Chains A and B, each alone.
Chain A
């Protein structure tokens, strides 16, 4: 009796260790019962046996990838369609010699139509940018020259003292009241 219970627990333990390799169930061998075979679920069709596969959740990963694809394609597909239609229906420009007496506009120096549109709509012409930069440089140069001159003039006026700067105004002589000085020992 004790041996049978020991054997039963050992069989149960081995069954737990390796559930796939249960060739002969201990319940059949030792207790002389028969497994009822009509209970097996048989639904083959083309899928095989239905399994409940236990694995960690992939909900968050799949949700992330779905949202990534969605947001990328939300802007990506219109942009790709736009670029495709521009390339097919408008097409790139051809290189040509500058005709005599003609000054091309600043966007006519680019090849692709979208670049030309950006240069025409948003950007100033490079000539204008050049002139703006030269104007800034000229203003800064004039300011620097003015400052240098001012320092030079300061130096001269301090040294010689005959200029309008560095003169401390004193009171007018006529405002001095000489009446207390007329009688000594007052």
Chain B
């Protein structure tokens, strides 16, 4: 079966199932519905999954995550060395994708926290909120308004503008 999520990152609140103290002799509808769900949905699906895994048991192939070497960045390239420009550009694009995924992961954590805590999320998820704010501010300042045709050069120029603005303020 596929792995479950990381329990440290998405902690579940302690369950508060009450001790059962039945006074009535009527059947428990929650129990009936859960049994119904189990027999009609859970059991067939699990059985099918087990059959399929039994068929596929021996011959699982593997897939890997590609590791890329670091190459010199745009600032370390000689002027007119177009091959170096190309490699730096490709590396910048890979880093851009990675940063987008990082922002998505942080967003997902915040969303999960809000869903868990309910109305008191601003107080209980303070760490996740701060982390998300920091990460999204950083992303906006680095990659913010570059647009669809973003490139390493444009990002570098944006960084130059930022540094100039900081120098003028200081």
Residue positions of A touching B, CB distance < 8 A = 88-91, 93-98, 104, 108-111, 113, 116, 130, 133-134, 137-138, 140-141
Contact A134 B87 (CB under 8 A): yes
Contact B86 A109 (CB under 8 A): no
Contact B82 A140 (CB under 8 A): yes
For A108, what are the chain B residues with a Cβ–Cβ distance below 8 Å?
Answer: 61-64
Is B5 engaged at the interface, CB distance under 8 Å to the other chain?
no
Q: Cα distance A91–B53 when bound, in Å?
A: 9
**Which residue from chain B places its CB closest to the CB of A88 in the assembled complex?**
B52
Output the least CB separation between B105 and chain A (Å).
17
Contact B83 A138 (CB under 8 A): yes
**Which residue from chain B places its CB closest to the CB of A138 in the assembled complex?**
B83
Is B74 engaged at the interface, CB distance under 8 Å to the other chain?
no
Is B66 engaged at the interface, CB distance under 8 Å to the other chain?
yes
Is B25 engaged at the interface, CB distance under 8 Å to the other chain?
no
Is B7 engaged at the interface, CB distance under 8 Å to the other chain?
no
From B63, B82, B86, B87, contact of A93 by CB (8 A): B63
Contact A94 B62 (CB under 8 A): yes
* Interface residue tally for chain B (C-beta within 8 Å): 18
Residue positions of B touching A, CB distance < 8 A = 52, 55-56, 59-67, 80, 82-83, 86-87, 90
Contact B64 A104 (CB under 8 A): yes
**Which residue from chain A places its CB closest to the CB of B61 in the assembled complex?**
A93
Q: Cα distance A91–B60 when bound, in Å?
A: 8
Output the least CB separation between B57 and chain A (Å).
10
Output the least CB separation between A164 and chain B (Å).
28
For A134, what are the chain B residues with a Cβ–Cβ distance below 8 Å?
Answer: 83, 86-87
Contact A93 B65 (CB under 8 A): no
For A97, what are the chain B residues with a Cβ–Cβ distance below 8 Å?
Answer: 64
Q: Cα distance A140–B80 when bound, in Å?
A: 12
**Which residue from chain B places its CB closest to the CB of A89 in the assembled complex?**
B55
Q: Cα distance A96–B64 when bound, in Å?
A: 6
Task: Known A134-B83, A134-B87, A141-B83; judge A89-B64 contact (CB<8 A).
Answer: no
